[in-house]
Structure 1
Amino acid sequence: MSLQQAIPLGGKGMDGVIKLALLAVGGQGGGVLTGWIEAVARANGYVCQATSVAGVAQRTGATVYYVEMAPAGPRAPVFSLMPAAGDVDIMVTAEMMEAGRSIMRGFVTPDRTTLITSTHRALAVSEKMVPGDGIASSDEVIAAAEVAARRFIAADFDALAIAQGSVISASLFGALAGAEVLPFPREAFEAAIKSGGKGAEASLRAFAAGFAAAQGPVTMPVVAVAQKMAPVGSARLVAAWQSLVDRAGRMPEAVAEMAVLGLRKVVEFQDLAYGAGYLERVEAVLSRDRAPFELTRQAAKYVANAMAYDDVIRVADLKTRAGRAERIALEMGAKAGNVVQLTEFLHPRAEEIVGLFPARLGAKLEASPIWMARLDRWFNKGRRMRTDSLRAYLMLYVLGGMKRRRLGSLRHAHEVAHLEAWLAVALGYLPANYDLAVEVIRCRRLVKGYSDTHARGLSKFDRVLDGIALVAGRADAADWARRLREAALMDEEGKALDGALATVRSFA
């Protein structure tokens, strides 16, 4: 949590009217929060007006709720319908990037505005579309807020609310009360919640958590669904797991932490023997590395990603895991007694289907245009499956249970061959150019996802490695490798990569 204390806000704008704006998206309870603010103002002798302008759906715009209030008097005040830049006393945002947008729009000013925001992220479509890491920096927003606002209060109000079985509107209402920027006592805010009736008890708990967060440092709760559970199983399996962890822990400090995380990932993907194979690959890289061991550290990360690839079995396994339905219901805000229907969209290509076959049979089918066309005709169509129904759930459950057959499948054979070839290329550059070897290891981040996404990633990966081969003899080869990789991550179509490769070919 970040809390910057400042001189308390006088409570009213220059015209005697308190002006409060709220930015929230669907499901965050912006309308409920606005209603509570209106209720507490009117119950305490204030006249109040609230308006809202809906944003565009799918995270391209938040709804702007605007409240103006003033003490009741002989003359009715004239209220504005929308907030104006430089004329907002209190700005409340239900997500970190909305705080950034409020600053960009001029609603937050250092001479008068108290900014209250939740630090959690609800990713925008534009952030999800980027092939690489398109997530905007929260640190930059926090830095801007500390400069732009007169007083800045930030905490993960979403986590606070979920921990109390409520939603973020209640914890933000508590933060508004705890900030003491409205001339009303805490009891008045709580009375507004109680008047709502249904769900008031959970809302009051979330209100109290938000109030405490605004008043001073708090220990943020860990949401139960996000907790990392310790391994469970028979004593023999737990002992074998601990032996692998100890083995990873004996690696240099710069590598050990990443190796343990990678080990956990591959064991969860397959089994303990698969985890031992992961450590063997990392140790093989380590045997050729030197301090500060950056090559092995990167290999520990990306070898794990390569070994825990997304196939049909893994997708089915993830969709039928214990607790998934409860987590989705929690995220959707479903209450006890609500019926939650869950529809999965599946669109497997012929390549995914043939990848499930034993390697030898699968290779024969893959080499046959007739069979590939037939499989594509049978399976390459969008399917919607209701996994809250027994039939669809059992189909995916059985498919996800084919984990033991995975290592003999054609898809696994392809993944192992690609993994070994990639490591051979990277280590081949090691004697002459250490930094280039590290950059080739990092290029594995281009390969991710499932179905068409995976195919596009593989294509970009191969093209980047071809480009690296053209500049491998140059002193700045590592820098060019990084540029090619970053170009491949810039857009889905690969246009930036095309331009970067054209540049490389022009002088190589």
Structure 2
Amino acid sequence: MFDSVVREKPLTIAILAMGGQGGGTLADWIVAVAEANGWHAQSTSVPGVAQRTGATLYYIEMLPPRDGRAPVLALMPTPGDVDVVIASELMEAGRSILRGLATPEKTLIITSIHRAYAVAEKEKPGLSIADPKAVNAAAGIAARRIIAFDMEQAARENGTVISAPLLGALAGAAALPFPRESFEAVISAGGKGTAASLKGFAAGFSLASSNELPELGRAPAERPPLPESLGRPALDQRLLRLRALPVEAQAVALAGLKRCIDFQDLAYGDDYLTRIEVLARLDDQHGGAGRGHGFTVAAAKYLANALTYDDVIGVADLKTRSARFARIAQDMKAGDDPIYLTEFMHPRGEEIVSLLPARLGRRVLAKPRLMAFIDARVNRGRHVETSTLSGFLQLYLVSGLRRWRRTLLRHETEMRHVETWLQLATGTLPANYDLARAVLAARRLIKGYSDTHARGLSKFDRVISMVPELQGREDGGQWMDRMIAAALKDEDGTALDGVMKTIREM
């Protein structure tokens, strides 16, 4: 605990929080607690660029009274001279370390270990998530003490925002020379939502004052075992088929089965399982047991993705589900207030024609002038207000085409592509197990719809075209993985060009 005797220097606190997390409220609470105990306190803030590209920095300085004179307090933190750093999200703790706010002799870091991904992490098509282990290692060196747990979860469980558990952690860590009752009194004076805030505060206080705190970086989650039941006899029959698969692939296959059934129906889920069973037998015939059944695991994951392709029907279905409206209302904390949603749509002629019966769609696609005519009339931005009856019905009727999906042109096209892809993977399996596994993994390049789907398909075709050159190489699977990673780095494919050139020159 900080000493409550006369201090020569202010007690300093830096708070890094994103928009909507209550960082300003947290700063106001801390100032109010200090003033309620007779201290002088001052807070300032510097907003970030946007809600997630830059957090807001709140800075607080406080001093007890001395000779009846008010102190002169600074407006900004000085690197190396901050007593407490409070971060509302794991990478914000890392940013505070990079900015020099934390020092090993002085600073207590209080941070949530959950992640809210930055724009730079989400905009890349591949895996661009920052490594939490780097923050864990840096914090262990840069800070005097660390308090870290999932404060977002604590807030969610208690129906409040993260600022309440953060304040509780600050109080529970004995970081300020004020009693718990002072913190609770300030929260209680807030009026609306105080009960939930007090519960969140208590959760943060309890976790921060205990000795059983997790590390900053979460360990990778283990795949859960299959449940005893899926709640319906028809689904439990499929569960028996899942248990017959290699144990390494069972959890992935269960997720894939659920996705296929949600995408279409039970019969579609059965088709998925039948394909996986065939691929698993081939895997065993070619030494899969000694390789962790990597081929079957890849098939379970990427075949589900391939069978549940993004189409106009699926998009319309997702946008008109009652669960989506309920989730948005909860996120917006709308209560009984009405919510108005506007969906931004930009269909191309190809998407409209893909909704036609397969035979008719092929005829239309074969006529360039007719396709140009259709595209000229539909290829423009539309704003569909799904909160109105007319707007909702537009998408609801499109989602109703789901029952005929298997007869439509888009489904025929996708299934033809799936068959070609699986034939290449199974044909490669006898000669090069790891390359066959990587061929399956290449399917991750295809995602989205419209222009995004077209770009992904183009990269997939380029990567797959290199299979003949990698067939005879023991490290062929590793090179295929490198091409996939490179293809996901940028839209124009510059990185992929470099890897392909290297392979051809070997």
Please report the TM-score for the alignment, with normalisation by the length of structure 1.
0.91
Which AA in structure 2 matches 1:63? T
1:59 is aligned, of 48, 52, 57, to: 52
Which AA in structure 2 matches 1:101? R
Give, in angstroms, the shift of residue 78 of structure 1: 2.6
Give, in angstroms, the shift of residue 330 of structure 1: 2.0
2:414 counterpart of 1:421: no
- Gap runs ≥5 in structure 1: 1-7, 220-229
1:175 is aligned, of 169, 174, 177, to: 169
Aligned residues, how many? 486
State the distance in 2 between where 1:161 and 1:257 align.
30
State the distance in 1 between where 2:446 and 2:479 align.
19
Which AA in structure 2 matches 1:414? T
Which AA in structure 2 matches 1:138? P
Give, in angstroms, the shift of residue 148 of structure 1: 2.3
Give, in angstroms, the shift of residue 420 of structure 1: 0.9
State the distance in 1 between where 2:344 and 2:17 align.
28
Aligned to 2:42: 49
State the distance in 2 between where 1:211 and 1:399 align.
50
Aligned to 2:374: 375
- For residues 10-409 of structure 1, the aligned pairs below 5 Å read 15-74=8-67, 75-216=69-210, 217=212, 238-289=232-283, 290-291=288-289, 292-332=292-332, 334-409=333-408
Give, in angstroms, the shift of residue 13 of structure 1: 12
Deviations 1:338-384 (A, max 9, x none): 33222111111112111111111111112221222122112211111
Give, in angstroms, the shift of residue 23 of structure 1: 0.5
Sort the Cα spacing of 1:58 and 1:367 in 2 relative to 1 into closer, same or farther, 3 A.
farther
State the distance in 1 between where 2:5 and 2:264 align.
61
Contact preservation (8 Å) 2:431, 2:471: no
Sort the Cα spacing of 1:10 and 1:449 in 2 relative to 1 into closer, same or farther, 3 A.
farther
Give, in angstroms, the shift of residue 215 of structure 1: 2.2
Contact preservation (8 Å) 2:7, 2:64: no
Residue range with higher mean Cα deviation, 268-277 or 199-208: 199-208
State the distance in 1 between where 2:490 and 2:2 align.
45
Which AA in structure 2 matches 1:206? G
Deviations 1:269-315 (A, max 9, x none): 11111111001111111111121311111111110111111111111
Aligned to 2:218: none
Give, in angstroms, the shift of residue 462 of structure 1: 0.3
State the distance in 1 between where 2:407 and 2:428 align.
31
What is the percent sequence identity of the aligned residues?
52
Aligned to 1:450: 449
- Gap runs ≥5 in structure 2: 215-226
Which AA in structure 1 matches 2:360? L
Deviations 1:444-464 (A, max 9, x none): 111111221111111100000
Deviations 1:140-175 (A, max 9, x none): 323332332222112221222122222111221122
State the distance in 2 between where 1:448 and 1:60 align.
25
State the distance in 1 between where 2:448 and 2:207 align.
38
Give, in angstroms, the shift of residue 198 of structure 1: 2.2
State the distance in 2 between where 1:135 and 1:93 align.
18
Once superposed, what is the RMSD of the aligned Cα atoms?
Answer: 2.2
1:323 is paired with a residue of what secondary structure? helix
Aligned to 2:219: none
State the distance in 1 between where 2:2 and 2:123 align.
41
Aligned to 1:434: 433
Which AA in structure 1 matches 2:24? G
State the distance in 2 between where 1:275 and 1:444 align.
19
Which AA in structure 2 matches 1:157? M
Give, in angstroms, the shift of residue 10 of structure 1: 5.3
1:402 is paired with a residue of what secondary structure? helix
Aligned to 2:473: 474
Contact preservation (8 Å) 1:249, 1:257: no
Misfit runs of 4+, over 6 Å: 11-14, 230-233
1:122 is paired with a residue of what secondary structure? coil
Sort the Cα spacing of 1:214 and 1:353 in 2 relative to 1 into closer, same or farther, 3 A.
same
Give, in angstroms, the shift of residue 232 of structure 1: 12
State the distance in 2 between where 1:48 and 1:127 align.
37
Give, in angstroms, the shift of residue 201 of structure 1: 2.0
Contact preservation (8 Å) 1:95, 1:122: yes
1:115 is paired with a residue of what secondary structure? strand
Give, in angstroms, the shift of residue 15 of structure 1: 4.0
State the distance in 2 between where 1:70 and 1:80 align.
12
Deviations 1:33-52 (A, max 9, x none): 11111111101010011111
